[in-house]
Amino acid sequence: MTERSLVLVKPDGVQRLLVGRVIARFEDRGLRLVGLKLVHVDRDFAERHYAVHREQPFFAGLVAFITSGPLVAMALEGPNAISVVRAMVGATRPWESAPGTIRGDFALEVGQNLIHASDGPETAAAELALWFPEGTLSYPREIDRWVLGPAS
């Protein structure tokens, strides 16, 4: 089933010059990039993004961190994209992330875990609407028949 997922390369990933490497991993896997932007979000926007965590003690820290510098927001599309992306990202706690995952390879601390990914279809739909109100693109790729098979 084709899905779309939001992925954010957080300010620490941008500052550490990992954006290209992160995007390349998703493209190498066969996911299609259908939205991409470099943004510096303000407090109001960050609070809307993290609204589900508003009552948690770590909410203020999440908001402060995501507003601390520019980040890259992307929309990725592909079969089971949400699960594929989550597996590639790794566990929230980097020390629990397997080598080969983005967090397992590049992160040490939960506060600087480099990346955010939608955790389910409803979350993905809401996050994509928030981050890409203008919508995302759809386009054919010649490589899809080699990645997804002849029916693509």
Which residue out of 40, 49, 53, 116 is catalytically annotated?
116
Residue 117: strand, helix, or coil: strand
Sign, CA torsion 45/93/112/35: negative
Quick one: DSSP state of residue 71? E
As a whole number of angstroms, the distance between CA 93 and CA 113 comes to 7
**Where does residue 93 fall: left (phi above 0), alpha (psi -120 to 50 degrees), or beta otherwise?**
beta
Is 116 considered catalytic here? yes
Q: Which residues belong to the active site?
A: 116
